[in-house]
Amino acid sequence: MDFVTVDRDTPLLLPVDMRDWVAEDDPVHFILEAVDRVDLSAFKVKRTRAGKSQYPPRMLLALLIYSYSHGLFGSRRIERATYRDVCVRYLTGDTHPDHDTICAFRRENHAAFTACFLEVLLLARELKLFKLGTVAIDGTHLRANASKDRNVTYERARQLETRLSADIEALCTRAEQADNTEVDERLPAEIARRQALREQMDAAQRTLQARAKERAAAQRPAYEAKLQAHQKRNGKGRRPKPPSDQPDPGEQTNLSDPDSRLMRKGKNGSVTQSYNAQASVDADGSQLVVSAHISQCSADNGELEAGIQNIPAQLGSPERGLADSGFVQIEAIERIQQSGIDLYVSVQNEAAHNQRRYDLRPEKALAKAPQKLVHPTLIDMREKIRTEAGRKIYALRQQSVEPVFGIIKQAMGFRQFLLRGLSKVSAEWTLVCLAYNCKRLFNLTQQPQNA
């Protein structure tokens, strides 16, 4: 039997052209073309010492987009791919940026991600694959780069700070008393460790105090309106209570990522340390993400306006907006409709609209009467969705935005942020949606009808 000769010792006779190793229909070519549209002024370039060249920012951006779209998120894994993956090696021109360079670029270039996000959407419009019309808005919980066990309450932080101060004082006294005797070598390290932990407790208290003051400032206008109404009634009824600018004893913050929050998806879901990642998706066929932002609130009811307003002005304003019952907020719905956008927001759960004969839920849940609607805005919205045309339009929501989250989590494998802090997490979520859009737009260009 004859076998193919495998010769690992003889070098190649001619220099390698890596373009011969990369398929013509590989998305790396599309990503490089999309990134070339981004203005260099959008990039934040780190200054280095004289004589040391830097990696081109467009190449680093293309490297991150390609890596994220193929499930490579860690900077060390991306660095390793520049040696092992032929397409990545072609993208970098056989250069190999180290993981520190990749990580620093990802942390500092939110503006570049945003600019490229817009350029990809404009490119889709030029290719006649996207036209802003109907958008579907939804959110999903993604884990933060922090453990929920690192949460501490305001009261516990105060208790621990007091205890740590006493322990530090006692250790310092022991060190001072050991003048001419042998000093325990572990004492300085123990003192430093406790001082660092005390600083964390102090920072946690300041975070919670600042959060309480912001909350009180936001509640102040509503309180003053209630107070004026109380005065008009000549003091009749209970006097409204002013908002407190002090945190609750049980209010918590996370020591690893103070901007993240404990979140639960539904009554039966588990509690995770997460962010609420929001996305607005084109529901007219392209399934491209047209806006993306991060919320620190577990619920979606305050994100409807942000999902509309964060759509880049260069794309125009959508004609319709679709959202599920989690986004119900009467004032926001009224303001958006007054701006001329036709909303289809479910005011009850999905099963109430489907009215299925063979519902899978237990009889106890089915016997529970749905919440009675009183406000005219909600009643009008319910009746609009119940019409034949309304049901047809609202059905676009489920088949547009929900598959996007499924692709990001399952196909791309992104389920947890690597960065910490609201601003950096927002940048990473923009990068994730940018990678998804490049992946989706490339697939649209490969369809026969668009060839």
In a domain, 11, yes or no: no
Residue 155 domain flag = yes
On whether residue 10 sits in a domain, the answer given is: no
Q: Are residues 348 and 290 in the same domain?
A: yes
The number of folded domains in the chain is 3
**Can you count the helices (H) and strands (E) in the chain?**
15, 8
Quickly count: other Cβ atoms within 10 Å of residue 64's Cβ: 27
- Helix crossing, 57-69 with 75-84: angle to 10°? 100
In this structure, are 90 and 119 located in the same domain? no
* β-pair type (271-282, 151-153): unpaired
Contact present, 160 and 154 (Cβ < 8 Å)? no
Sign of CA dihedral 121, 124, 126, 131: negative
Domain boundary at 234, 254, 274, which?
254
Q: Is residue 122 part of a domain?
A: yes
Residue finishing a domain among 198, 227, 254: 254
* 98 and 124 in a common domain: no
- The verdict on residue 220 lying in a domain is yes
Does residue 164 have a pLDDT over 90? yes
Same domain, 308 and 358: yes
Q: Are residues 138 and 157 in the same domain?
A: no
Q: CA end-to-end span of the chain, whole Å?
A: 46
Is the per-residue pLDDT at 365 higher than 70?
no
Residue 13 lies in a domain: no
- Asked whether residue 138 falls in the same domain as residue 152, the answer is no
Amino acid present at 157:
A
* Among 223, 254, 285, residue at a domain's last position: 254
Establish if 275 belongs to a structural domain: yes
The pLDDT tens digits for 262-321 are 999 877 788 999 999 999 999 998 999 999 999 999 999 999 999 999 999 999 999 999
Q: How far is CA 165 from CA 88, 318, 324, in A?
A: 52, 57, 50
Tell whether 51 is covered by a domain: yes
Helices (H), 179-256: 186-232
The predicted model scores a pTM of 0.90
Containing domain of residue 442, as a range? 114-146+265-450
387 and 438 inside one domain: yes
Q: What is the pLDDT of residues 129-153, one digit of tens each?
A: 999 999 999 999 999 999 999 999 9
Is 36 in the same domain as 185? no
Beta bridge partners of 254: 151
Question: Do β-strands 134-143 and 320-323 pair in parallel, antiparallel, or remain unpaired?
Answer: parallel
Residues 211 and 320 in one domain: no
Q: How does residue 378 score in pLDDT terms, banded at 50, 70 and 90?
A: very high
Report percent pLDDT > 90 for the chain.
71
138 shares its domain with 166: no
CATH of the domain at 393: 3.30.420.10
- 152 and 140 within one domain: no
Are 66 and 159 in the same domain?
A: no
